[in-house]
Amino acid sequence: MSPAENAPRCPECGKTSSGNFCQHCGGKLGGRFCNQCGGEIGAAAKFCNQCGEKAAGGGARLSAGAHREAAASVVGGQNLPWWIAGVAMFGLIVFAGVQMVSPGAPAAPSQPVAPFAAGGGNPPDLSTMTPREAADRLFDRVMTYVSTGDSVQAQTFLPMALGAYERAVPLDNDGLFHLSLLNRVAGNLEAALGNATQALDIDPNHILALTAAAEASVELGRTEDAAGYYRHLLDMLDAETARDLPEYVSHEQIMASVRVDAQAFLAGR
């Protein structure tokens, strides 16, 4: 066999080459890489010793660029949305689970976190809105996704919504209630409680603020504090409902359930 026939062939163009790179196309010579993790595989190996993936058949080889693309597909390409979905779903499952197993919490919530119109379609054009309008639109969108179980979209819009309310300060009680709910979804329970108590500093009898403070306290394990908020809520509920505040009207389904939720919590202690 002639020296030319003994020379290695480029895995990219198939021409005989020598050295580390093909003189014809620039492909890397002699390397075989895993299609799953991008790790280098020995010439005779049938499986990747990094992740266990079956090696490409027929002695196939990938160039350095190709193996980088293969690795990138796991952590930055088409497989990434599935990874994000798993993490996001885990976060929302934990969030829902905490609500269900917190000490004194009702066996099942009487409704989702909040009632919202169905979402979908393209994101709203926030550039045409005031900071508060943009924040409220993002709040509606996040809570719609939460209530329908779309964890990927909820996690996508959640940081935008939190940032929007930070830009919309100072917030009224309705805005602070929204921000408290968003922080609860994000798992920022201390911040959620802080938003609620800030609203109570403005209006100690505000039903939505009392609800938010009680629920955040439950999730933090502060059941005595939660009981205090719920008792005060029951004491003030009829008088506050008669005030017919705009936020009470816009969250009428929450207002309709707070009595049952508060009574269920107090009865279960």
pLDDT tens track for 25-77: 555 555 555 655 555 666 556 666 555 566 654 444 444 444 444 434 433 33
Structural tokens at position 258:
């707070």
Percent residues over pLDDT 90 in the chain: 50
Structural tokens at position 98:
């905490």
Q: Which spans in 168-251 are helix H?
A: 173-186, 189-202, 207-219, 223-243, 246-250
Give the residue extent of every domain in the chain. 82-267
Rounded to 5 degrees, what angle do the CA atoms 170, 207, 243 make? 90
Q: What is the pLDDT of residue 261?
A: 95
Domain 82-267 carries which CATH code?
Answer: 1.25.40.10
- pTM, two decimals, is 0.56
pLDDT tens track for 2-22: 555 556 666 666 777 665 555
pLDDT beneath 70: ranges in the chain: 1-13, 17-126
Phi, psi of 33 (to 5 degrees): -130, 150
User: Are 208 and 249 in contact, with CB atoms under 8 Å apart?
Assistant: no
Determine how β-strand 40-41 pairs with β-strand 32-33. antiparallel
